Amino acid sequence: MNIRKILPQDNEAIKNIIQQSILEHGAPKIGTAYSDAATQAMYAHYQKPRRDYYVLEVDGIVVGGAGVAPLDNYTGNVSELQKMYFKPEVRGKGYGKKMILVCLERAAQLRFESIYLETMDNMYDAQGLYKNVGFELLKSPLGDTGHFSCPVQMLLKF
């Protein structure tokens, strides 16, 4: 298992993982990460200031990823945990927790005050992981990520 920053050659693999995971959970293509411009060019998107995306490799194969970036359309110093998805065969093995801890550490290093996320209401395992590391449910979204099809919002303050 290896967690590293995204490289240009990872774009297609991580895009496929994101899109297949969204479809697997019955989420719509519109209003989710499925149709984000960033999903189409992940490496380029995460080369901007105060953002990083990490991929998880197992036996040299990209099997998932997650990133941090400033929360879109929000005036506070809040980051967003973005595009955290994994192939089904590596879920439930502790990789998600390792990945999220890398992202939380990076967000703190980038001097964000908190980290926000949006997810689907039927992604129960993911929500359990988020709660386990300290995220709390919100009553309404922060900022405007364009993910209007993601009804669950959570926040962790540093």
Residue 77 CB coordination number (10 Å): 13
Residue 41's domain is classified under what CATH number?
3.40.630.30
pLDDT tens-digit readout, 101-127: 999 999 999 999 999 999 988 888 899
- Quick: pLDDT tens for 56-95: 999 999 999 999 999 999 999 999 999 999 999 999 999 9
Return d(Cα 49, Cα 136) in angstroms, integer.
27
Task: Name the residue range of residue 73's domain.
Answer: 2-157
Question: Of all helices (H) and strands (E), which one includes residue 12?
Answer: helix 11-24
User: What is the domain count for the chain?
Assistant: 1
Give residue 128's pLDDT band: very low, low, confident or very high (50, 70, 90). Answer: very high
In this predicted structure, what is the pLDDT of residue 140? 93
Check residue 56 and give its pLDDT: 98
pTM for the model:
0.94
Nearest Cα to Cα of residue 56 among 13, 99, 92:
99
| Mean pLDDT calculated for residue range 133-149 | 91
Which whole number is the average pLDDT over 128-140? 95
Q: CA-to-CA distance for 11 and 43, rounded, in angstroms?
A: 6
Tokens of 124: 């129960």
